Structure 1
Amino acid sequence: RRAMAVLRVRHCRALLYCRRAPPRCPACGGDLRGAGLAAAPVRLDSPFRHGHGQPRAFLVRPTRGTFLDGYDGHSDLHVGISSSRGVVYNYDQEGVHRDGRGWEQCISIPLVQPDMGELLQHWDELLEEFSLQETWLPHRYEEQQHNCFTFALAFINGVRQARGGAALSKAEFTERFVLARAREAARYLRLQQQLAHSDVYIVPLDEQEQQE
């Protein structure tokens, strides 16, 4: 399911989130049509990406379903690494999968910068070689200690160390690369949920600033 557009309107020290900008501010009753550029609606970008169009990225999606279709914020998540062509390598109790579909709505963290020419060139080869290691056979899978995140982070750390970088723990990687995007996604999902039940969701500006 595609996300319905979310608009943000700033007016009378409040942020109004809506699908369509109302003619009058529901907080103060003022006319929004003549409120000038400061009150012009701004469309919020969705934090979710089509994973198969995100090359060389760390991808996160719900294990079942999608973020915008029933995800409750607590269900299990699944992660993978995309190839240069958007094939998503991921590991579970059945071993390594190379998915050409199923990752259409993801949180995406790019892993390679444009100036990393050699890595760009050899990414797919490295990813395929890594996925063939015996440590990723199905019987090695363990839900808590040897799982999809273990697979993805081990590949990332292997690439980092080959380039002279330090390996990252799960906590370090999450803090540095995942947390900000996960929080952005959570805020967006909350807005979608609020607007499923009301035309306008009002957030006092000082409250919003405290959340940022």
Structure 2
Amino acid sequence: MALLRVRHCRALLYCRRAPPRCPACGGDLRAAGLAAAPVRLRCPFRHGHGQPHAFLIRPSRGTFLHDYRGHCDLHVGITNSRGLVYNYDQEGVHRAASGWEQCISIPLVQPDMWELLQHWDNLLEEFSLEEAWLPHRYEEQQHNCYTFALAFVNRVRQARGRAALSKGEFTQRFLLPHTSEASRYLALQQQLQHSDVYVVPLAEQQHHSGAGSHSLLE
């Protein structure tokens, strides 16, 4: 069921179904007008196989909404133009047509990058065949799925005359806006497992800038 947000009496009310009265002040929400109309929150998770040319993040086991806890391991991959997910682990490179149905998705290519869109699949396939991604080269901490995905992003960036990104820079600039949004959404989901309405005073509501629409490859 969708998450809803209602603004009333200097508070944000998060719920799955809007209550008739505000739990913060007791006021009648039905008489509060358009200002208190429920707003559906955007779910930050996408069907990864429907997200071409993207950087995907999912839990190593299970799904975000049903299984994920903050300490769980994550797995990442890169999609080709058909939503096939290239990902690397101790068995080498996989080309997955299923299993990535609930992901954080970060677009890598803008629609006006015609030449890159035309060659993307070949670039990704050729990159995945390199010796660096053989099974015996895998190392859980230093040479893993994240290494594979970031190395491909940097390969494409450098071919376009852009500087390579360090792991820290990539995480800070491009991953954190998306993962922070997902963390807030999951926290609300957990709060609403124990109560019908979660009340956040507006003075405590933190305002976060959105994850920019610019491309990682620019």
> Could you say whether these structures have the same fold, taking a TM-score greater than 0.5 normalized by the shorter chain as the test?
yes
Q: Which amino acid aligns with 1:196?
A: Q
Q: Distance in 2 between matches of 1:211 and 1:160?
A: 28
The aligned residue for residue 214 of structure 2 is: none
Stretches (4+) displaced over 4 A: none
| 198, 206, 211: which one aligns with 2:195 | 198
The aligned residue for residue 89 of structure 2 is: 92
Structure 1, unaligned runs of 5 or more: none
CA RMSD of aligned residues (A): 1.0
| 13, 19, 22: which one aligns with 2:19 | 22
Residue-by-residue CA offset, 1:70-124 (whole Å, 9 max, x unaligned) = 2111111000000000000000000000000000000000000111100000000
What is the TM-score normalised by the length of structure 1? 0.97
1:1-212 equivalent positions in 2, closer than 5 A: 4-209=1-206
Percent of aligned positions that are identical: 80
Residue-by-residue CA offset, 1:2-48 (whole Å, 9 max, x unaligned) = xx200000001100000100110011000000101110000001000
3-state SS in 2 of match to 1:209? coil
Q: Distance in 2 between matches of 1:30 and 1:209?
A: 24
Give aligned pairs, total. Answer: 209
3-state SS in 2 of match to 1:69? helix
Residue-by-residue CA offset, 1:155-207 (whole Å, 9 max, x unaligned) = 00000000000000111111111101100000000001111111000001111
Structure 1 range deviating more: 102-111 or 66-75: 66-75
3-state SS in 2 of match to 1:59? strand
